Each structure stands twice: as structure tokens, then as C-alpha cells.
């Protein structure tokens, strides 16, 4: 399927809502059967392998609604933009939704529960915005953050700088959206988040302070992004910004360490120190209430303000 181009992928999703030949109704039947099968597979080889997003969702028995299955509705300009700037797999709307739905079910049940009190949530590096879509549907007030990419070698590589160590607005981004002349005004996922009507704020997450007041939002979420902000030796400075802004909780899920970084002693020493510091987090009433393994690495951390 991923041999198709961006436009063909969007059209294919239109033909197969919810990635099923019978649409969302067929998806519901498939997921019910999948959930029932788990009990017959207990402790078998198949049950022990890493679960897919659909298997996680089926285990919860809480499926994304049909309202989230329509393909992205992009203008010709928007389609051209995303075709140049993002991987093809990220234009498949329901795939994005399922991945974020599975993460939220597991790690933010208080936001996904039926009748949950509405909260104010900031997602850092929101990308395609599926997390915000889901939480908005659940009744929460959502804000996203994003920025142009600076990891392709055209200028500063944001992954290895210090926090507050360089001004990306003076650099050239990976996709030619910014010429280094000052304020960054465009980013790869703009057409998608605009089509969804999401509030996305542009600022560099590797530089602080962020443009939010102390304890101004309930929750900060960051999926697969902190490794793009700065070197891991400074990730705790990023976390300090998250806990400064949040009143209640922080969910942080770094991406898996890339193979080339795993060979670098300084990088891995910093990652291990970060993992230790997150597990033992105890600052200003905050504590780590959950640490979990994802993709065979310790990379799920949930902080809550307990005091």
C-alpha cells in the first residue's frame, strides 16, 4: 500500500473507511473477534509478541468512533506541501488515530474515560494532530505545538545541541520552508492540522521558556519528539518546562534511540541518566507514577503533581 503516493493513499482511505472493506462496521466486528481471541491465546507465542495498535485497542474494547475515519481533506496546495515534507504513512488518517488512541488508552485513561472532566491539554510536536483530535472529541480543550524540522544537516542539527543552545530561526530547515531570515512561519504538517481546525502554536521546543504561564494548563503530552529538541543531557530541562506549565500531569514518550546514537557512549550515558532521573522524579510536588517499556526500551514516563 505504501507504494502509493500521498494523493493515492488519501483516496484509498476514502474507499476503505477505517481501513476495512466494510467500513467502520466491519472494523468493529473485526476488533470484537480479535478481543475474543485473546483469551484463547493466553501465554501462547502469539500472545507474547509485541501487540499491534489494533490488538491494544481490542483489549480495551474501546474503539475510535466513525467520526475519526474520514481521510484528510486537503487542498491541492496542501497535498503538494505534505507530499514534499512528510512520510507517506502519515497521510493515512485512521492509522494516525489508531496509534494515538492506543497510547492514550494505556497511559492517559483519566482523559479517555467516559464522562471525564474537561481538561486543558498541550501536546508538544503535535505533527498530524491525531492526539488533539481524539482529546477534543472527548471534550477537552486542546492546544498543539510544532516547528520546522532541523535534523537533515542543512544547518544546526537540533538533536545534539544544548537546550537554549542555538537559535533555529537563523538556520535553514530540512524542507526549505524557512530561509533563516528570522521567525519560522511554516511547518511540515500545517495543511493537515489546519484542515482539522486545530490550534497549533509555532515555537522551538529546544529553547525556553515556552510561551505559557506557570500552571496554566492541566496536562502536557509529548510523544516521540523530545529527542529532536536537544541532546539527552538536557532533556530534564525540557521536562522542567513541562512541569512548570502543567497543573496535573505530564506524559512523556521519547522515541526509540536510533542505532547510530546507541553506539555513542556520551549519548547513551545521558539517556540512562535521564531514565534514572525520570523514575526518581521528585520536584515541587511532582512524582513519577508510571514508567514503562515501549519498543524494548524504557521510554514511557508519567508524572503527576501529588503535593
Write the pLDDT tens digit of every residue in 30-51: 999 988 787 666 556 555 678 9
In a domain, 252, yes or no: yes
Asked, for residue 292, whether it belongs to a domain, the answer is yes
Q: In this predicted structure, what is the pLDDT of residue 179?
A: 81
Structural domains of the chain, count? 1
Q: Does residue 175 form part of some domain?
A: yes
241 contact partners, CB below 8 Å, separation of at least 6: 208, 209, 210
Residue 292's domain comprises: 148-186+203-307
Residue 266 lies in a domain: yes
pLDDT in tens, 187-209: 999 999 999 999 999 999 999 99
Output the pLDDT for position 46.
58
Is the pLDDT at 248 greater than 80? The verdict is yes
Query: Range with the lowest mean pLDDT among 128-137, 227-236, 244-253, 287-296?
Result: 287-296
Q: Is residue 234 part of a domain?
A: yes
For residue 302, tell me if it sits in a domain: yes
User: Is 160 within a domain?
Assistant: yes
Whether 126 is in a domain gets the answer no
pTM of the model as a whole: 0.92
- Quote the strand ranges of 5-164, DSSP E: 120-124, 141-146
Give me the long-range contacts of 292-299 (CB less than 8 A, separation at least 24): 292/107, 294/253, 294/256, 295/256, 296/256, 297/256, 297/257, 299/253, 299/254, 299/255, 299/256
Q: What is residue 241's predicted lDDT score, i.e. its pLDDT?
A: 99
- Give pLDDT, residue 184: 86
Q: Could you give the count of Cα atoms lying within 13 Å of 97 in the half-sphere of its Cβ?
A: 23
Amino acid at each position: 500500500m505504501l507504494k502509493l503516493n500521498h494523493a493515492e493513499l488519501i483516496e484509498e482511505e476514502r474507499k476503505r473507511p477505517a481501513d476495512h472493506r466494510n467500513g467502520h462496521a466491519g472494523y468493529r466486528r473485526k476488533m470484537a473477534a480479535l478481543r475474543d481471541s485473546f483469551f484463547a491465546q493466553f501465554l501462547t507465542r502469539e500472545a507474547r509478541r509485541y501487540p499491534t495498535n489494533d490488538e491494544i485497542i481490542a483489549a480495551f474494547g474501546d474503539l475510535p468512533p466513525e467520526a475519526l475515519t474520514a481521510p484528510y481533506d486537503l487542498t491541492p496546495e496542501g497535498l503538494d506541501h505534505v507530499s514534499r515534507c512528510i512520510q507517506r504513512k502519515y497521510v493515512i488518517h485512521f492509522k494516525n488515530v489508531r496509534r494515538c488512541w492506543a497510547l492514550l488508552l494505556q497511559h492517559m485513561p483519566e482523559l479517555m474515560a467516559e464522562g471525564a472532566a474537561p481538561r486543558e491539554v498541550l501536546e508538544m510536536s503535535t505533527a498530524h494532530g491525531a492526539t488533539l483530535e481524539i482529546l477534543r472529541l472527548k471534550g477537552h480543550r486542546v492546544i498543539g505545538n510544532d516547528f520546522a524540522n532541523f535534523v537533515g544537516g542543512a544547518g544546526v542539527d537540533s538533536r545534539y545541541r544544548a537546550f537554549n543552545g542555538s537559535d533555529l530561526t537563523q538556520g535553514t530547515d530540512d524542507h526549505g520552508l524557512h530561509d533563516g531570515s528570522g521567525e519560522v512561519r511554516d511547518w511540515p504538517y500545517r495543511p493537515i492540522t489546519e484542515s482539522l481546525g486545530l490550534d497549533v502554536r509555532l515555537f522551538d521546543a529546544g529553547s525556553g521558556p515556552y510561551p505559557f504561564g506557570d500552571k496554566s494548563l492541566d496536562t502536557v503530552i509529548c510523544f516521540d519528539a523530545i529527542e529532536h529538541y536537544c541532546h539527552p543531557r538536557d532533556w530534564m530541562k525540557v521536562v522542567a518546562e513541562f512541569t512548570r506549565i502543567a497543573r496535573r500531569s505530564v506524559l512523556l514518550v521519547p522515541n526509540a534511540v536510533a542505532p547510530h546514537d546507541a553506539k555513542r557512549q556520551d549519548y547513551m550515558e545521558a539517556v540512562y541518566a535521564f531514565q534514572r532521573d525520570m523514575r526518581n522524579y521528585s520536584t515541587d510536588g511532582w512524582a513519577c507514577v508510571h514508567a514503562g517499556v515501549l519498543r524494548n526500551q524504557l521510554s514511557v514516563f508519567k508524572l503527576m503533581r501529588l503535593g
